[in-house]
Chains A and B, each alone.
Chain A
């Protein structure tokens, strides 16, 4: 008898739980639409990948919370490990799944190079959010491939012109031997010689090198006014520290790769002071949408920072969501809608795709470290003439 009543009780509880689960589901008639995010979530550059993933996730969450949106969105995040073969694998997974309408894809250039053909083959429109190699958009004519961030070409043109206008003439270049560093070396050298700068020496180093004594000793003999560094934060911190130890007195100029809080924190206030970085896009901190982004990002309590390319992923995701809202969850229609993007307002400024679906970035923002923080050049005491860069 007792056993039977226990069984009844269990059944009743189960029924209640099931009923509760049904009641808790919002009674909305919105169809679910999937979009993908692909980036490096594990490995050496996972900080950037996770920042991009969180930013994309934020865009999706905000859209789902918006009562006016026609669909409920679901984000499928995939890890490309910054490896082309894994990239091709996950790209195939996303692109061959017809329920995924579009994607916000890739931080690493080599991975993006490997996957563009996959997206083209399966007809899935994507927007690249972080990879900077020019050939990703210009090396093919695939209608599916878009890019919101600028290429390293834009970045270095501005960097070279800016530095020569400051009166610098003699450079030494250190770059890492990855696609990122080599590309920066190539384009910066090209624009620098055009704007009248002189390169005294170029040094390639591997991305995990620890000791730069031999390179820096040679550079010390060459007496450059500026050391240009093409590479990412960890290497930049090491080089700048060892420059100080060896007494190399030169202005330190980096690329978008060192514009991270970790750079300023890793070096400390004094050493980081005056370091320069150039990054594509409008200074999003100053745009009204940008503040909303940082505010909402903080609200969601992600454990990791959005990092330098998070805003690009956020902008890309929003462009895709807008396109789906407008033309419906259809890959071809979304592709055509994205192809024709002109002067779209995003948190990185206006986005216009050219004939290769590359965003013609209107602006490169210059940053300088002032008192341990990256500050937009024009707002800094350097820009206003109160402080001076080294040797000026």
Chain B
């Protein structure tokens, strides 16, 4: 008790709030940057800012402050997203990108449970995301089920189909387990292409979401102002992402997270101490796939269309690269990493066919200078502040 008090008085909360505001303002400008000069300026600005922050020791202060006030950090992040969204209330495209980042973050939080905590490698993230979209497409077009229930069901279906893989994943390790999930991802895409009942290669239309008569695909009119309909999806995705985040953090802090970590680090040791390896691998795998399915359902309803080409092996790799870029095992790293991976190629549209070249170069550079990702995972911290370590 006394330790906690001394900590909170030692570390002020303002560095944290400043940090969150800087990131929020930066995200706002990045979302709205259209000209080449603006995008380049922002890229250079980010590098200078990062250098300045570490040069003057601000990074450490923000980190200490964040560790002291984890709840404030969460609230600040949600507030920043809401503010950025509110400022661009009629910018359809900016909101679409922001919502996409939130949904991909949700999937990556799921992947984080899988290979960040329990070490189950999953290279079929896009396939489970796709299962969610397809479930939403079929159920929303052919059944009167309420749409929120459909989102939950989509998660369930993804988890169920994922359980097909449980046996092979449990029996293999390392590269072999990775191969199985890769095979599943390719199988999924090929199956959709030859299956005409699910639209074949041309895909399916998905009706927009509707909750209790509130149509998500209509713009919201308040007085004379018209708000973008993407705000509906943004709020829903933010809620899903926030709940998932809290879930993942709680999981990490609990004895379950501890068991998962042991399973990842040393299976033999885990078995010796009576930790049920199969149980934790299955839990992590199913939970992660379910999250991917739910995010996929919302994404599908938002874009209104789903086709097998959305869920190639390349898209699974993008999901994996978000987790690695953010720092494996640290849920906080996922949000900035998702923003970089999703928004940057889009902002580089002006260099057209060369944009992936430059983007790939940037990712390599980041990993060269920060091999553990943007925000590497720290040792489990049970008490707020530095002394808890």
A residues engaging B (CB < 8 A)? 41-42, 46, 50, 53, 77-79, 82-85, 88-90, 92-93, 96-97, 108-111, 113-115, 117-118, 122, 133, 135, 177-179, 182, 204, 206
Q: Among B201, B203, B355, which residue has its beta carbon within 8 angstroms of that of A42?
A: B355
**Scoring B residues 295 to 325 as 1 if CB is less than 8 Å from chain A, else 0, what string do you get?**
0000100011111011010000000000000
**Given A83-B310, A84-B309, are A110 and B202 neighbors across the interface (CB < 8 Å)?**
yes
State the majority secondary structure of interface residues on B.
Answer: helix
| B71 interfacial contact with A, CB 8 Å | no
| B200 interfacial contact with A, CB 8 Å | yes
* CB of B116, distance to nearest CB on chain A (Å): 25
**Given A177-B201, A178-B201, are A114 and B353 neighbors across the interface (CB < 8 Å)?**
no
Question: Which chain B residues lie closer than 8 Å to A93 at the CB level?
Answer: 93, 346
| B96 interfacial contact with A, CB 8 Å | yes
**Scoring B residues 342 to 359 as 1 if CB is less than 8 Å from chain A, else 0, what string do you get?**
000010010011011000
Q: Which has the most chain A C-beta neighbours within 10 Å: B97, B205, B352?
A: B352
Question: Which chain A residues lie closer than 8 Å to B353 at the CB level?
Answer: 41-42, 46, 50, 79
Q: Contact residue range for chain B? A: 20 to 34
| B92 interfacial contact with A, CB 8 Å | yes
Q: Is the pair A113, B96 in contact by a Cβ cutoff of 8 Å?
A: no
- In the assembled complex, the Cα of A178 lies from the Cα of B299 at a distance in Å of 23
Q: Is the pair A114, B203 in contact by a Cβ cutoff of 8 Å?
A: yes
State the majority secondary structure of interface residues on A.
Answer: helix
- In the assembled complex, the Cα of A118 lies from the Cα of B356 at a distance in Å of 25
**Given A41-B352, A89-B96, A92-B96, are A83 and B309 neighbors across the interface (CB < 8 Å)?**
yes
Q: Which has the most chain A C-beta neighbours within 10 Å: B202, B203, B305?
A: B202
Across the two chains, which residue of chain B brings its CB closest to A133? Answer: B202
Q: Among A42, A82, A111, A179, which residue has its beta carbon within 8 angstroms of that of B200?
A: A179
Question: Which chain B residues lie closer than 8 Å to A109 at the CB level?
Answer: 202
Question: Which chain B residues lie closer than 8 Å to A133 at the CB level?
Answer: 202
Can you list 28 A-B contacts with CB-CB less than 8 angstroms, sorted by A residue number? Answer: A42-B353, A42-B356, A53-B352, A77-B349, A79-B352, A82-B309, A84-B309, A88-B303, A88-B304, A89-B96, A89-B97, A89-B100, A92-B93, A92-B96, A96-B92, A96-B93, A97-B93, A110-B202, A113-B203, A115-B305, A117-B205, A117-B305, A133-B202, A135-B202, A177-B194, A178-B193, A179-B200, A204-B194
Q: Kindly identify, within residues 200 to 227 of chain B, every residue whose CB is under 8 Å from any CB belonging to chain A.
A: 200-203, 205
Question: Which chain A residues lie closer than 8 Å to B193 at the CB level?
Answer: 177-178, 206
**Given A84-B305, A84-B310, are A110 and B203 neighbors across the interface (CB < 8 Å)?**
yes
Across the two chains, which residue of chain A brings its CB closest to B186? Answer: A206
Q: Kindly identify, within residues 328 to 386 of chain B, every residue whose CB is under 8 Å from any CB belonging to chain A.
A: 346, 349, 352-353, 355-356
